[in-house]
Structures are given as C-alpha cells and as structure tokens.
Amino acid sequence: MADGHEVELKLELDPKDAGDLRCHPLLAGAAASTRAQSSVYFDTKKRALRKAGYSLRVRRLDDCFIQTVKQAGSGGAGLFNRPEWERSIPSECPDPQALAATPAAAIVGPDRIGKLVPVVESRVDRTIWRIDHQDSEVELVLDQGIIRGGGEERALNEVEIELKRGVPGALLDVARRLAESVPLRLGVLSKAERGFALADGSFDKVSKAAPVAIGAEMDVAEGFAAIVHACLRHFRLNERLVAERRQPEALHQARVAMRRLRSSFSLFRPAIRHSADFERLRGELRWFTATLGDARNLDVFLAGNRDEASDADREALRAARERAYDRAIEALESQRFRDLMLELVVWTEGGDWRRHRKARAPLAKFAEKRLDRLWRKVRDGGRDLRGLGEEQRHRLRIHIKKLRYAVEFLAELYRPAALAQKRFAGALEGMQESLGHLNDIATARTLVERLGLSSALAERPAAGPDEEGHHLADAESRFAGLTRIGPFWR
C-alpha cells in the first residue's frame, strides 16, 4: 500500500512573473515560508527503477533527510496523480529499510542497493502557501532554482498546486484563478523526468506520440481523459523546440499532437457534445491548429524543392517561413492559448459532460461502435480512389487520419489482436501518406502562385501526372490491404 497519494497540478512560469504570483489576491493573508532544499535522484546505471516506472529521491531540508519513492501515475499534462512512499532517513544515502517498504524493493533489493548512483540533482528555493479553497485545503508551491543531470544544467521555475484535503476541483479552480493574471503553462515533466531527460541526452530532442494508457476496465470518461492528457503532453514536449529553435520536426509533431487532440473530440463526440463548452473548445483548437499550418507547408515545400529553387526563390521561401513561424510563435505565447491549455485540463477533469450517461458507459463497447463508424467512411470512400475529385480525396484522407488515430489511441483494448492491429495501422498510415503526397502537390501549386516563385518551380508541381498516378496506385494497394485485414477489433 502507498503511504499517500499525491494529486497535484504542475505549472511553469517565467521567472519575471514570480512577483505577480506572490502578490496574487488568492494568496493574500496566507502565510508564506521559504526554505532552500536540495534533492538527489538515484537509479542504477541501466535505469532499472525508471524503466519500471519509479523514481527514488533523497531530499535534504536543513539537517534532515527524506527519502521518497514515487510511482508513475495518471495524468501527465499538468495534472499528476500518483502513489508515493515517504520516510525520514539518517543520511543522504538511500536507506535499504525505508526502500524495503515500497514496491521499488522488488527492483532494487538489498543485494542491489549498492548499485544505486546519483543521476540527477536539483537545488531550489521553495516557497509554500497553504490556502483553504472550496472546502478543501490546497498547498501552493513556488520552486525556483536549477536542475542538473548528465553534465547539463537547466533553470527551474515551477508552480505546484497540491491537494492536501478535499476535492480535485478545488485544485483546478486555484490554477484557473491564478492564470487569470499570471502567465502560466502546463507542466508535463516531473523534476525526475526533466532531470533524467537531461542525463540521458533526450531533453532537447523531438518527441513523438507515446502509447496511451487505456484499459478495458475504464469507462468512456476515463478513456477520453487519458487520451487528452497524452495529446497535451505530446504537444508540450515539442512546444519549446518550436518557440526557441524553430525546428521543423518539432513543429510537425506539435501539429500532429493538436490534430490527434481534435480527433479525440470527434471520436468521443457522442459522450462530450452535450457540454456547454464543447463547440467553443473545438473552435479554439481549430484556431490554434490552423496557425501552425502555413509554417508546416513551407517546411515541406522547402525540403522537397531545395535543389530546384533559385537563390531568389530560396530567399522568398525563407522569408515566408520566418513570417509563418513568427505567427505560430505569437499564437503559442498568447494568453488566449495558455488559457485554452489550462481550460482543457479543467474541462476534461471536471466538465459538465462527465454527468452524461454516455460518459459513464463502458469504454470497450463505445470504442467498438465508434471504430465501426470510422471504418465505414474509409471503406466506402476508398472503393473508387481514381474517381474522386481533389476535395473528395482530401476528405477521405481526413477520415483515414481519424481512424488511424483512433486505432492508436485504443490499441491497448485489443492486445489479443495486436498483430492485426499493427498491420491495419500500418496500411492506414501508408494510405494517408500516399494521399498526403497528392495534397502536398496541390499545396505546392498554391504556394508557388502566392509567393510568385520562378517558372521552374511553377511548372514542377503541376507537371506530375506520373507522380500522381504513382501515389494513387500506392493508395489503392494500401486500401486493398486494409480490406483484407478488415475490422480487427470485432
């Protein structure tokens, strides 16, 4: 059994906004205490604890040492909900007796405790406020300092809002109230995850979508929440690389994350559409995703036409790309977007949609019906690919994308059919890519005309009947594979 269950919302802020946080009316009258603290995270050289989903930390407060084991829990986009085991220990070294009372002992038993090594270190000034809010007790923590791992060091400026007593809704309302006047962003990495990413050299790398923790025992609301959190985490892990480095692949993954999120709204529509906020949130997601589109189109066009472009073309394309990234980053840094991200977490966890009977229905049965519906659209649309017009092919590609994302979201429900699921998803991806190439050709024509590029580039996208025929033939082959596999989820 866990000693406790930590429920907290993790947020990030710019250090220049820390003063505004300290002066927020919500904290007026609440006593604040500030202490320096240092923490060291331990693991084996092969990261046995981390691979098993645990972290082991020894924290020093004055002359006291506290050892904490945490298990990866639900959440991962702002909201963290996880078991933890905490004990006072006599020194800064991991204590075998305290460790023996936790599940981590099965991974690092008495014979292996000597193999634990320090991997990550954090040093922060921690300010704590305790406030009563909505019949609940909430602890608000501001951490400012540094974290080190693998010879790398990064600044830490985090806000943690932890529920000490009461209901999670109070925690979420505190975050919403703070965000009205303090620019806050969802935090998706725990200190341990951030530090280990530094130590392993993955902190500055582009992140792809990870599998979603879906279970057959879940109801529809739990399944939808797990998918939303996974999409938000995927996005936030790439957002910084877009804003700071303008990395094309990071922007691509950020855009994929938003499209997956929008697809989750479509997949779960029968259960969430009754909410008063459903259409507005969909519209806001559509707005933001659109701000990334031009930059992505220019990245794709530049990558495919670099050799054919003249110096003047390349300069025009680079200038257009910079303007497109400027617009995307402006949207990223807007209060409108920050509010949207936090509101999505609040709405997902406590929105009025959760009271609808369909939100409480078993996930597996609901998923089967939704997959059937998506499959019919793809099956019917793919029967005559060559007879479809450009707009019809575009709509079919959207249906394929939605089905592919749904299959990926729900993969854990269909483990007995894992091989068929993998083949089905692969055929969907191939078909999507083939039709995507056709869409890229159409987009290229538009870009050439809009930017007034040279005749060589103007002719290239338009003069491709052989290329278009190749992509159509590949899409037809992939579709034939899909129909042979059929609806594996039945």
Contact 265, 273 (CB under 8 A): no
pLDDT at 214 over 90: yes
Beta bridge pairs of residue 362? 219
Contacts of 160 (CB under 8 A, 6+ apart): 8, 9, 10, 11, 139, 140, 141, 143
Round to whole Å and give the CA distance between 20 and 11. Answer: 15
pLDDT in tens, 299-319: 999 988 877 788 888 899 999
Distance CA 420, CA 474 (A): 20
Query: pLDDT tens across 396-407, in order?
Result: 999 999 999 999
Give the chain's mean pLDDT: 92
Task: Sort 114 into a burial class: Cβ within 10 Å, 0-12 / 13-18 / 19+.
Answer: exposed
Residue pair 28/117 in contact (Cβ under 8 Å)? The answer is no
326 to 33, 292, 319, 447: CA distances (angstroms): 41, 10, 11, 18
Regarding predicted confidence, which is higher, 456 or 117?
117
pTM above 0.85, yes or no: yes
- Reading the block at residue 240, the tokens are 């910084």
- Least confidently predicted of 109-113, 118-122, 203-207, 426-430: 109-113
The band of 455, judged by pLDDT with boundaries at 50, 70 and 90, is low
Read off the pLDDT of residues 362-394 as tens digits, 9 standing for 90 and up: 999 999 999 999 999 999 999 999 999 989 999
CA dihedral sign of residues 34, 36, 37, 38:
positive
263 vs 350: which has the higher pLDDT? 263
Whether pLDDT at 462 is above 50: no
d(CA 222, CA 214): 8
Distances (CA, A) of 403 to 269, 351, 376: 14, 26, 10
Tokens of 275: 């909410």
pLDDT in tens, 314-351: 899 999 999 999 999 999 999 999 999 999 998 998 89
Decide if pLDDT at 1 tops 70.
no
How many angstroms separate the first and last alpha carbons of the chain?
37
Q: At what angle do helices 278-305 and 335-350 cross, to 10 degrees?
A: 130
**Band of the pLDDT at 229, cuts 50, 70, 90?**
very high
Q: Quick one: 303 exposed, middle or buried, by C-beta within 10 A (0-12, 13-18, 19+)?
A: exposed
Question: What is the length of the chain?
Answer: 490
Q: Which two tokens stand for residue 351?
A: 């929105």
Task: Read off the amino acid at residue 396.
Answer: L
Q: Parallel, antiparallel, or unpaired: how do β-strands 136-149 and 54-61 relate?
A: unpaired
pLDDT band per the 50, 70, 90 thresholds, residue 443? confident
Model pLDDT, residue 251: 98
Q: What is the pLDDT of residues 163-178, one digit of tens each?
A: 899 988 888 899 999 9
According to the model, what pLDDT value does residue 424 have? 96
Smallest CA-to-CA distance from 16 within 241, 182, 186, 245 is with 182
List, for residues 113-166, the tens digit of each pLDDT value.
Answer: 889 999 999 999 999 999 999 999 999 999 999 999 999 999 999 999 998 999
What pLDDT does 431 receive?
Answer: 96
Helix (H, G, I), strand (E, B) or coil at 190: coil
Count CA within 13 A, CB hemisphere, residue 172: 19
Give 213's contacts (C-beta < 8 A, 6+ positions apart): 74, 226, 230, 412
Q: What is the pLDDT of residue 78?
A: 64
User: For residues 377 and 363, what is the distance between their CA atoms, to the nearest angstrom?
Assistant: 22
Burial class (CB in 10 A: 0-12, 13-18, 19+), 250: buried
Confidence of residue 463 (pLDDT cuts 50, 70, 90): very low
Query: 39-52: per-residue pLDDT in tens?
Result: 999 999 999 999 99
How many angstroms separate the CA atoms of 135 and 173, rounded?
12
Instruction: Please say whether the beta carbons of 367 and 352 come within 8 A.
Output: no
Q: How open is the CA angle 165-167-169, to the nearest 5 degrees? A: 135
The pLDDT score that the predictor gives to residue 440 is: 86
**Cβ atoms within 10 Å of 316's Cβ, excluding its own:** 16
Q: What number of helices (H) and strands (E) belong to the chain?
A: 16, 10
User: Is residue 322 within 8 Å of 451, Cβ to Cβ?
Assistant: no
- Summarize pLDDT for 2-56 with one digit per residue, the tens: 565 667 899 999 999 999 999 999 999 899 999 999 999 999 999 999 999 999 9
pLDDT confidence tier of residue 186, bands split at 50, 70 and 90: very high
What amino acid occupies position 305?
Answer: N
- The yes-or-no verdict on residue 266 having pLDDT over 50 is yes
